[in-house]
Structures are given as structure tokens and as C-alpha cells.
Structure 1
Amino acid sequence: MKWIIILAIVLFLVWRLKPAKGVRTIGADSLKGMLGDRTKQFIDVRTPAEYKGRHIKEFKNIPLNALPSKAAGLDKAKETVVICQSGMRSAQAARILKKQGFEKVTNVRGGMGAWNG
């Protein structure tokens, strides 16, 4: 019985960390070259307090819990780059955006924790 619970937990964690189908993943170092690109939109899904404490100026703050309702205000034709603190919430955000019909979604692996800019 113990092994079944452990297996279930491991599978759950793998499922949560697995990128959504069709989501590109980049490192924080690759993000630097993208920031001036007007064909992309940049979304930070951390809380307003986290965003206020430290953020990248090109990123608009839309907290993860508000993303499903605010995604309609985003441009589906543009590549959407999402970031959070570690990459976990932004992976969830990428899944939400893909389900809402966004075709070009990029997740920043390591998030703000990996950002040196």
C-alpha cells in the first residue's frame, strides 16, 4: 500500500513538471535576447507582491489565478513568454494558454530565480 501512495505522488509530480504539448522552454539566458522583440508578449504570473519586489520591465503582471479570465485580453497571434519565480507556475500558465488557443507559448525554465539581468 505504501508503494502505491509513493508511486501516485511521483506520478503527480512528474505530471505537474511536464511541459504542456507544444510549449517551448527556454533558459533565462535565452530570454535576454528576446526582450526587445515587439512580436512577443511577456507575462509574469507571480503575485503582485512578488512582481513589485523584483521584475523584468517588459513583463506584464497577470497573476496565475487571474490568467484564465484575463487571457482574452492578450493577443493570440503573438508568441507569449511566461515567467514566474521557479518555472512551476509559468508551466501551469502555459497549459492554460494552450487550452485557450494560444499557439506560440514559451516558458522560462528556472524563472526569476535563474534571472541575472
Structure 2
Amino acid sequence: MFGLFKRSNSVSTNELASKWNGKMTLLDVRTPNEFRAGHIPFAKNVPLNNIAGYKGKDNQDIYVICQSGMRSKQAANILKKNGYNVINVRGGMNQWTGSVKGGK
């Protein structure tokens, strides 16, 4: 570990797609408008400004995604401080090539 910050666990969008088992928790931390414009079908929208109040199962991995990976990294740090096991999705929706719900 270097400095004061622990690195969050992370996966690529391809790794997320290959790990998907139907029971995973994926939080999309973009704004509601961004989420409506197109999101991964199994994602739940919890905008970054609401993430500190998130209440979920603490015995389960939580994957977080945003547009590019920056907001999800912030969300991962907040959730980790709240006791969750968090995995950031690197590259965010910019890198996602799977199916998308909503949008055009």
C-alpha cells in the first residue's frame, strides 16, 4: 500500500460481463438522466450524491459503475468506508459493449 489510500478492487467491463451470475449487485452511480439514457439491464441507479446512504447486503460484493470510472471510484471508497466489499468497474459505460436498457 502506498500513501494514505488503499486501492479499490476493480474489474474491466469484460470481466463484469463474464462474472455476471444473475445475483450480483451492480450500482450505477451516474445521474438519473444519464441512467435513463442507457444502462446495463441489471444495474440499480444510486447516484453518487446519494451513495453514502446506500443500504444493501453487507455480505455480498457490490460492483459500481459510472460513465468513465471516476465517480464509481469515489463511490467505491465511500461504500468501502461503510463496510461493503466493493469492486469498481474500470472504464465505465464508455467501455461497456454488452446490452443496454433505455436510451436510443
Structure 2-normalised TM-score?
A: 0.85
* Residue matched to 2:90: 109
What 5-or-longer segments of structure 2 have no aligned partner? 99-104
The separation in 1 between residues aligned to 2:89 and 2:80, in whole angstroms, is: 15
The separation in 2 between residues aligned to 1:32 and 1:86, in whole angstroms, is: 17
Bigger Rg, structure 1 or 2: 1
* Residue matched to 2:21: 36
Please tell me the residue identity of whatever aligns with 1:74.
Answer: G
8 Å contact kept, 1:35–1:58? no
* Residue matched to 1:25: 10
Q: Helix, strand or coil: the match of 1:106?
A: strand
Q: Helix, strand or coil: the match of 1:33?
A: helix
Provide, for residues 73-92 of structure 1, a one-character-per-residue CA deviation record: whole Å limited to 9, x for no partner: 21111000000000000000
Q: Helix, strand or coil: the match of 2:9?
A: strand
User: Percent identity over the alignment?
Assistant: 43
Structure 1-normalised TM-score?
A: 0.76
- Please give the root-mean-square deviation of Cα atoms over the aligned residues, in Å: 1.6
Structure with more helix by fraction = 1
Please tell me whether residue 68 in structure 1 is matched to residue 52 in structure 2: yes
Give the 5 Å matches for 1:36-55.
36-38=21-23, 40-55=24-39
* Residue matched to 1:97: 79
Please tell me whether residue 77 in structure 1 is matched to residue 59 in structure 2: yes
The separation in 1 between residues aligned to 2:69 and 2:46, in whole angstroms, is: 15
Please tell me the residue identity of whatever aligns with 1:43.
Answer: L
Deviation at 1:22, TM superposition (A): 5.6
